[in-house]
Amino acid sequence: MLDIKNLHVAVGGKDILKGLNLKVDAGQVHAIMGPNGSGKSTLSYVLAGRAGYEITQGSISYNGEDLAALPPEERAAKGVFLAMQYPVEIPGVTTMMFLKSALNAQRRSRGESEMDAIGILKTVRKKAAALNVSEDMLKRALNVGFSGGEKKRLEILQMALFEPRLAILDETDSGLDIDALRLVAEGVNGLRAPERAMLVITHYQRLLDYIVPDRIHVLANGRIVAEGGKELALELEAKGYEQIVRDAA
């Protein structure tokens, strides 16, 4: 589904990703682990299509299509979803209105009919209950005054609503207490499906106790330096990033 080859990305003229290779198949959950500054967030942003992330070399193929050629909204409509590390607050737009606009925009882009307000409300309510997203949160301005946990739960609610084919979770665990983490992980696990791939980006091994990946890749200095099964997380926990990076060199 996702095939990244020799990807080089510069941000503000500075090289951040320096020859990254990664292949993720449908039905799989891959984890990207790495120390701060290794390029994890750059990878997530370049996949979602944020401006200012310049691909200087290499390619990103998504279901055989050149992902880099598409604007962010088309990537979303084609099933790419990025659960953001820092969801933005938008005063003046209610959460429910935002969800409706986004869902219908994606449907329009795919040539599907728009859902009416009542249909969306019913769908959202059902999925929101499972993630403990309250009715009040849906009525409030998007992410405004939400706690860290509420913001992350809303990201997962969007993932459940949009039903993406490739979900990228950027540091979804950061700043969450154990209960919030468990809730988020349950939400994510509930969305594992044969037709869906997930890329879980995290600094901490802890998240992978709850979302068990098929593969783990260690990102350091803009490149994948080590790969393995879920046991690699334990090795990282025991040895630390420095040792793993050194072993790989």
Name the residues that contact another protein, by CB under 8 A. Answer: 48-51, 71-73, 75-77, 82, 84, 87-88, 90-93, 98, 101-103, 105-106, 109, 158, 162
- Provide, rounded to whole angstroms, the least separation between the CB of residue 204 and another protein: 24
Nearer to another protein, 143 or 202 (CB): 143
* Residues 220, 40: Cα–Cα separation, whole Å: 9
Tokens read off for 69: 């050629």
Tokens read off for 221: 């200095």
- Provide, rounded to whole angstroms, the least separation between the CB of residue 160 and another protein: 13
Nearer to another protein, 77 or 219 (CB): 77
- Provide, rounded to whole angstroms, the least separation between the CB of residue 237 and another protein: 32
117: three-class secondary structure by DSSP: helix
* Residues 169, 39: Cα–Cα separation, whole Å: 14
* Residues 200, 167: Cα–Cα separation, whole Å: 8
Nearer to another protein, 71 or 190 (CB): 71
Nearer to another protein, 28 or 143 (CB): 143
* Residues 145, 151: Cα–Cα separation, whole Å: 9
DSSP class per residue in 234-248: HHHHHHHHHHHHHHH
- Provide, rounded to whole angstroms, the least separation between the CB of residue 96 and another protein: 13
* Residues 18, 9: Cα–Cα separation, whole Å: 7
Nearer to another protein, 56 or 109 (CB): 109
- Provide, rounded to whole angstroms, the least separation between the CB of residue 239 and another protein: 35
